[in-house]
A and B are shown apart, each in its own frame.
Chain A
Amino acid sequence: MSGRRDGVSTDAAQNGPAGTVPAAAIVARPLGALIALPLRLLDAPMRALQRTIGERRMPYVFLAPNAAFFGVFVFLPIAINLWFSVTGGPALFLSERPYVGAGQYGYLFECGSFLDPNSCREDHFWRGVANTAKFTLFQVVAMVAFSLITAVVLNMKIRARGFFRAVYFFPVLLSPVVVALIWKWILQRDGLLNAAITSLGGQKILFFVDPGWAMFWAVLVSVWAHMGFYTLILLAGLQAIPADLYEAAEMDATPRWRVFRRITLPMLWPNMVVVIVLALIKGVQTFDEVFVLTGGGPGTATLMVVQYIYETAFSNQVQNFGLAAAASCVLGVVLFGLTLAQLAASRRRAT
Chain B
Amino acid sequence: MADLKLVGITKSYGGLAVIHGIDLAVRDGEFVVFVGPSGCGKSTLLRIIAGLEEVTGGDILIDGVSVTRLPASDRGLAMVFQSYALYPHMSVRKNMGFALENMRLPVAEIASRVERAASMLQLTPYLERKPKALSGGQRQRVAIGRAIVRDPKIFLFDEPLSNLDAELRVATRKELAALHAEIGSTMIYVTHDQVEAMTLADRIVVLRAGRIEQTGTPLDLYNRPANLFVAGFIGSPRMNTLPATVVTAGPDGGMMLAGREIAAAVPDTLKPGDAVTLGIRPEHLATVIPGDAGRSQASDLTVTVDLAEQLGSETYLYAQTADGNPVTIRQAGQITITRGNRIDLLIQRDALHVFNSAGLRVAQSATETLG
Mark contacts of A229-272 with chain B using CB atoms, 8 A cut-off: 1 yes-contact digit, 0 otherwise. Answer: 00000000000001011011111111100100011001100000
CB <8 Å contact, A254 and B87: no
Contact of A248 among B71, B77, B87, B103 (CB under 8 A): B87
Known: A253-B74, A254-B73. A248 touches B102 (CB 8 A): no
Whether B99 is near chain A, meaning CB under 8 Å from some CB there, is yes
Which of B6-14, B78-86, B291-299, B322-330 lies at the interface?
B78-86
Least CB separation from B143: chain A residue:
A248
Chain A residues near B99: list those with CB within 8 A.
251-254
Known: A245-B87, A263-B87. A252 touches B81 (CB 8 A): no
Mark contacts of B87-99 with chain A using CB atoms, 8 A cut-off: 1 yes-contact digit, 0 otherwise. Answer: 1110000000011
Complex CA distance for A112 and B88, rounded to whole angstroms: 52
Complex CA distance for A254 and B146, rounded to whole angstroms: 14
Q: Max chain B CB contacts within 10 Å: which of A245, A252, A254, A255?
A: A252
Chain A residues near B88: list those with CB within 8 A.
267
Chain A residues near B22: list those with CB within 8 A.
none
CB <8 Å contact, A251 and B79: yes
CB <8 Å contact, A267 and B89: yes
Chain A residues near B71: list those with CB within 8 A.
250
Chain B residues near A247: list those with CB within 8 A.
52, 72, 79, 81, 85
Known: A254-B98, A254-B102. A248 touches B74 (CB 8 A): no
CB <8 Å contact, A242 and B98: no
Least CB separation from B88: chain A residue:
A267
CB <8 Å contact, A266 and B89: yes
Known: A253-B99, A254-B102, A258-B102. A244 touches B73 (CB 8 A): no
CB <8 Å contact, B102 and A244: no
What are 21 A-B pairs at a CB distance below 8 A? A242-B85, A244-B81, A245-B85, A247-B72, A247-B79, A248-B81, A248-B85, A248-B86, A249-B98, A250-B72, A251-B50, A251-B72, A251-B78, A251-B79, A252-B73, A252-B146, A253-B74, A253-B99, A253-B103, A254-B98, A262-B98
Taking Cβ atoms with an 8 Å cutoff, the residues of B that contact A are 50-52, 71-74, 77-79, 81, 83, 85-89, 98-99, 102-103, 146, 150
Given contacts A251-B52, A254-B102, 7 further A-B contacts (CB under 8 A): A242-B85, A245-B87, A247-B72, A247-B79, A247-B85, A251-B79, A254-B73
